[in-house]
Structure 1
Amino acid sequence: MGKTETFANLNTDLGRLATRVETYLQENGFEVAFSKDQTEPASWFFIQARKAGALRTVAGARRSTDITIRGNPDRIEVSIGTGEWGKNLVTSAPLFIVPVVGITASLVKLYTAKRFEDNLWKFIRDQARFLSGSGTKAVEPQAGTAVDSRAYDCDYIEGYPGWKTQLTGGKLVLFRERGGKNRVVFRSGSQEIAIPAENIAGASIITRKKGLNEDDLMIQLDCEGDGGKSMRLVFNINDGIIRGVMAGIDELAGEDKALRGFEGMSVTTDTKSCSACGASIPREARFCQSCGQKQ
């Protein structure tokens, strides 16, 4: 039986919450498909997920985890249950495969419950809260571009060429623009680093010794700097908000990649089993995408 939770008075953007859920599922090794309300603003999103490739058994090829997000920014209802891959429970509209456009991130490692569904619910609760206020679009006066910028206290940054080993105190700001350029910015006094989202290759959580006996979680960002040089920056963010910051960075980079090249692929429901490994493959396939065996 499915489970439903309601999130009220958060002013959370439904579309951004849905996108973060899709990325989280992909990082967990799922193939993801989606459908959404075609009106603006969209009032519902339907997401399906099934284990990808070799992780998927023959019996589970048609079984999916179904997530429905519906409502408005001030009252969001999220339901999680099981269903049949390719079957849209909300509408007759087709489902589309979500391309993998996120960066290499380690967000999944921050959720450590034994059951996947428990981790998924914790992630959704986190992101609904972290995205609080995103339902109202701000406008950048000069460019006239819709912007969502979120600033986080950052104890220090290290790894930027030309700066001293560690620069203490500052703000890490995530800029999300419609029709513009997503970017990550670090500010400390009069100094500023701006990293275009398209230059971000990966983000990971690392542990450093902040004090004598204290393990501190930090974000390590692999990106491209001026002249194409590789940089590895380390940001010290409060452990209580690091999950939200990581998801935000992944969102910025993923959206940038999607804008530069997105092709919607319809879900293929007409399938057969590979004669060698049993994986579910399109009926017209001549080779298995999992084991390579000719059919």
Structure 2
Amino acid sequence: MISEKIVSFHDKNKDLNQLAQQIITTLDADGYKTQLTTNSPTGIIIQAKKAGILRDIITADRAFTIMITGDSNNFAIHIGIGKWVQNIAVAAAEALLLSVLFLAIDIPEMLWTKHVENEVLKKIIQLI
């Protein structure tokens, strides 16, 4: 993922599968297309991308990748930008093991990405 952020949480006693579903519900309500895998060896992985004309102009294969690792009392949320993977269940482990895997992005897209990434992360923190 490009520009990955990691936020750790301790002593929250949060069901991580339920948290993943809440994240998906929140993103879906904001107009994102999402996909989820819970069978990754690295944790729960959610990909989200926003549809629309601006998205088509910027680059339609980019998506947010949100990974939840750890257990209910000690977990981390990793969020970053990467490439939309058609079959996330197959490619999740490979994509997340390589930290700088995806294409370089230009300055306007990077600024937009950081803005949206921060907004998504704020919403996730509110769920916790």
- TM-based fold match above 0.5: yes
Cα shift readout 1:187-239 (whole Å, capped 9, x = no counterpart) = xxxxxxxxxxxxxxxxxxxxxxxxxxxxxxxxxxxxxxxxxxxxxxxxxxxxx
Match of 1:123 in 2: 123
Match of 1:66 in 2: 65
1:71 match: secondary structure: strand
Decide which structure has greater helix share.
2
Match of 1:189 in 2: none
Match of 1:17 among 10, 16, 19: 19
Query: Which whole-Å CA distance do the structure 1 matches of 2:47 and 2:57 have between them?
Result: 18
Deviation at 1:38, TM superposition (A): 6.8
When residues 59 and 121 of structure 1 are mapped into structure 2, their CA distance, relative to the original with a 3 A threshold, is: closer
* Aligned amino acid, residue 37 of structure 2: S
Match of 1:84 in 2: 83
Query: Which whole-Å CA distance do the structure 2 matches of 1:22 and 1:28 have between them?
Result: 10
Cα shift readout 1:150-197 (whole Å, capped 9, x = no counterpart) = xxxxxxxxxxxxxxxxxxxxxxxxxxxxxxxxxxxxxxxxxxxxxxxx
Q: Post-superposition, which runs of at least 4 consecutive aligned residues in structure 1 deviate over 6 A?
A: none
Query: Which whole-Å CA distance do the structure 1 matches of 2:127 and 2:7 have between them?
Result: 14
Cα shift readout 1:249-273 (whole Å, capped 9, x = no counterpart) = xxxxxxxxxxxxxxxxxxxxxxxxx
Deviation at 1:62, TM superposition (A): 0.5
Structure of greater relative contact order (alpha carbons < 8 Å, 6+ residues apart): 2
Query: Which whole-Å CA distance do the structure 2 matches of 1:5 and 1:72 have between them?
Result: 14
Cα shift readout 1:60-98 (whole Å, capped 9, x = no counterpart) = 210111100111001111011011101646426xxxxxx
Deviation at 1:118, TM superposition (A): 2.5
Deviation at 1:52, TM superposition (A): 2.1
The equivalences for 1:189-228 within 5 A come to none
Q: TM-score, normalised by structure 1?
A: 0.32
Whether the 8 Å CA contact 2:20–2:44 is kept in 1: the answer is yes
Match of 1:52 in 2: 51
Match of 2:28 in 1: 26
Query: Which whole-Å CA distance do the structure 2 matches of 1:63 and 1:23 have between them?
Result: 20
When residues 126 and 61 of structure 1 are mapped into structure 2, their CA distance, relative to the original with a 3 A threshold, is: same
Larger radius of gyration: 1
Deviation at 1:35, TM superposition (A): 1.1
2:93 match: secondary structure: coil
Number of aligned residue pairs: give it.
103
Percent sequence identity over aligned pairs:
29
1:17 match: secondary structure: helix
RMSD of aligned residue pairs (Cα, Å) = 2.3
> Which consecutive unaligned segments of at least 5 residues does structure 2 have?
95-114
Q: TM-score, normalised by structure 2?
A: 0.69
Match of 2:38 in 1: 36
Match of 2:97 in 1: none
Query: Which whole-Å CA distance do the structure 1 matches of 2:38 and 2:53 have between them?
Result: 29
Deviation at 1:56, TM superposition (A): 2.8
